[in-house]
Amino acid sequence: MTLKIAFLASDAPLAQTAHAALVGRYGNTEKEKADIIVALGGDGFMLQTLHSTQALPAPVYGMNRGTVGFLMNEYHESDLPERLSEALEEVINPLSMKATCTDGTVHNALAINEVSVLRMGPQAAKLKITIDGRLRMEELVCDGALVSTPAGSTAYNYSAHGPILPIGSDVLALTAIAPFRPRRWRGALLPKAAKVRFEVTDPEKRPVMADADSRSVLNVASVEISSAPNVAHRILFDLGHGLEERLIREQFV
């Protein structure tokens, strides 16, 4: 049976060129009717595609036409149907973010990689951290903090010296970004079911923003984060190059 493929591409010239070549070779199907969605771009475009197609039944297979491409497969044109038929599927649950602003407005978003809270001005943020309704840290003075999924643990989390998490682990990483007090605190590993709450101390003097996969909310007073097990993103990887293998390999470079 011939696979019905929907090709989506970022605005980058390299991705647009690849899109034209692949559509010319294999045709193109509307994403709502596709068996598989092929995303052409970098990791940012892959996250964008997963968010925009999460209600569709088709899994997403990425080919790297960006920079790092951690969530992408190598780009080849000739053997695409064979690669798609043999690809491994990984299922990822995103994080749910509820950000309450200082004016009382509430913003909800999903994040496949991480939810972060970040200082907006020259002064460090002061945060209270509550886990499952229990105050765990009275004051964290820092540039920010984040909660990461295993799939996102090699991104911003790793840059902030957080741990790389195995893809099958039911664990979230809570990582401080440039902590000043407690100076040596490097974060925590939490059960996937944990509910994390950040409260901003003195948000008028020390304004803080929240970010869910690059979707930002300014001037937050509190941010609540939890896993969203009812949402499942299906990602395809080439045989022998699945996300689990990539996460292990990343720890030895």
Q: List residues with catalytic annotation.
A: 43
Nearest partner of 92 among 183, 20, 170, judged by Cα: 170
Task: Please say whether the beta carbons of 121 and 157 come within 8 A.
Answer: no
Q: At CB < 8 A and 24+ separation, what contacts does 55-59 make?
A: 56/31, 56/32, 58/6, 58/31, 58/34, 59/89, 59/234, 59/235, 59/236
Tokens of 78: 């000739």
Helix residue spans in 61-194 (DSSP H): 80-86, 156-159
- C-alpha angle with apex 174: 168 to 175, nearest 5 degrees? 120
3-state secondary structure of 175: strand
Tokens of 170: 């039911």
Tokens of 1: 């049976």
Task: Please say whether the beta carbons of 145 and 172 come within 8 A.
Answer: no
Q: Identify the DSSP state of 157.
A: H
